Structure 1
Amino acid sequence: MSRGRLRPVDLARGHGLSTQAIRNYEEAGILPRADRTPHGYRVYTHLHALALRAFAALAPAHGHQTATAIMRAVNQDAIEEALTVIDESHAQLLKDRRTLAAVEKALRDLVPSGLPTPPESGMTFVGPLARQLGIRPATLRKWEKAGLIHPRRDPRTGYRVYTPADVRDVQLAHQLRRGGYLLNQISPLLAQVRSAGGVAPLEATLSDWRSRLTMRGLSMLTGASELQAYLRERDAGDPPNT
């Protein structure tokens, strides 16, 4: 890496960016302020190149907005603020991992329904379903009101009736509620189960989710390394202009 003067194009070329993007990054605080020539041209240095490398590594780990906040704080010498943002991002990744684990456990715990169902209709009613799960019928009605389940009404009696798909949704909601999840957190998952046509097609989705979480974790390691390299070099010499 050249330790002399660098043009915007020198920084842009190595990252597949435009020179305008480099100027935008400087304006956003991702890069420290550049000196200007007497004619007004920006002059970048190897420290700007390291800052750009750090941002490029942080973005896939934390997202563009969060990576911008980290670099802006660092370039304003607000290190504690930058570390807090990083900590919050790590905490979110841990939360996402726990959510995935809870979803996978809930899906594993789903068993083929042994619930008493009228053989002629393949449906069950609120009382037997509630007893099977050890919950109150009022809980099922609450879940219905919250939009988690959508039982139909028997046209002759007006009673709620639950299809096998409804029973599956109730079982999954029950497992997630036992895991401490709120109704508004459960609803999107049930919608995904319905759109996938059942639990089995979600295996690929869960595998992809797990892979993306792993990649985020590994990217965080790379981002931390590049950010440390930038900070070490910056603190070893004259600080960049701010």
Structure 2
Amino acid sequence: MRTADVARESGYSVQQVRDLERLGVLPPAARADNGYRRYTHTHVHALRAYRGLVGAVGPVEARLLLARLRTGPVAAAAAAVGEVHVRLAREREEALRAQRALWAIQAEEAAQDDDFMTITQLAEALGVRSSTLRFWEEEGLVRPERVTTHRARRYGPRAVRAARVVVALRSSGYGIPAVREVMDSLDGLDEPEDARRILRERLDRIAARSVALLRAGTDLAAVVDATRETPGRPE
């Protein structure tokens, strides 16, 4: 197959095919006597697999994974793809757990009175360290009150709710900057709807990545099958 043929079959441009070969996404093409590249259907499968992997894990990891599929033992290649499925499932479960936590927060607040909690009490209730609550305070995520003569922290209903939202988001893999963005959007609101919306959007993105990986499955298998008989390749 010519470069133009591979480009047409894979949906990439001629220049993209050349660039992806240079980046190692494709195995090196053979050269005809006139110097032109000679591709096979394996190269088409590799490009299609790459497109799906990019949607699932991003371009950098997609390149590394394809290299492992082409050169590593077959068992390791299958395990590498399985690891991506497991990671996506774990991310989905984390987001669902955070989502359930946010719904629980709303239910608890409906029955909540106006009692205040000390930092030790709140830390125990959330399953975190007191130092974690102090760090969140420094980051502006949770704002306790200081009313005693020793300036000890105490947390009212609003601060307790904020701390619960932070726990839910952090358990779902959100970094501090992303959590801060959510908390800023919640400032002055009575319901953590924005946090739930963000988690729904995260679940949608995880679903899209999972579908992309599934679409790449047949082409990934073709890449492995085409190279498993390569001389010197370990089984």
Q: Which bin holds the TM-score, normalised by the shorter protein?
A: 0.7 to 0.9
Q: CA deviation at 1:112?
A: 1.6
Deviations 1:30-87 (A, max 9, x none): 2121111233221112222222222222321233223222221232253233223212
Quick one: which of 40, 60, 69 aligns to 2:64?
A: 69
Distance 1:175 1:47 in 2: 45
Distance 1:239 1:47, change over 3 A: farther
Q: Is the 8 A contact 1:126 1:161 kept in 2?
A: yes
Quick one: which of 8, 11, 18 aligns to 2:13?
A: 18
Q: SS of the counterpart of 1:32?
A: coil
Name the amino acid aligned to 2:98: V
Distance 1:173 1:106 in 2: 10
State the structure with bigger RCO (CA 8 A, min sep 6), 1 or 2. Answer: 2
Q: CA deviation at 1:194?
A: 0.6
Distance 2:192 2:90 in 1: 22
Quick one: which of 151, 159, 172 aligns to 1:166?
A: 159
Percentage of identical aligned residues: 25
Query: Are 1:126 and 2:118 counterparts?
Result: yes
Distance 1:79 1:8 in 2: 28
Distance 1:230 1:54 in 2: 8
Query: Are 1:218 and 2:216 counterparts?
Result: no
Q: Is the 8 A contact 1:100 1:206 kept in 2?
A: yes
Name the amino acid aligned to 1:116: D
Q: CA deviation at 1:16?
A: 4.7
TM-score by length of 2: 0.73
Aligned to 2:85: 90
Structure 1: 5+ residue stretches without partners: 1-5, 118-123
Q: CA deviation at 1:186?
A: 8.1
- Aligned pairs, how many? 219
Distance 1:185 1:57, change over 3 A: closer
Distance 1:100 1:36 in 2: 49
Distance 1:188 1:169, change over 3 A: farther
Query: Are 1:205 and 2:198 counterparts?
Result: yes
Q: Which moved more, 1:91-100 or 1:65-74?
A: 65-74
TM-score by length of 1: 0.71
Q: Is the 8 A contact 1:8 1:44 kept in 2?
A: yes
Structure 1 runs (4+) greater than 6 angstroms displaced: 174-177
Q: CA deviation at 1:168?
A: 0.5
Distance 1:74 1:160, change over 3 A: closer
Query: Are 1:102 and 2:97 counterparts?
Result: yes
Aligned to 1:147: 136
Q: CA deviation at 1:221?
A: 1.9
Distance 1:47 1:168, change over 3 A: same
Aligned to 1:3: none
Q: SS of the counterpart of 1:86?
A: helix
Name the amino acid aligned to 2:109: P
Name the amino acid aligned to 1:33: P
Q: Is the 8 A contact 2:70 2:227 kept in 1?
A: no
Name the amino acid aligned to 2:215: T
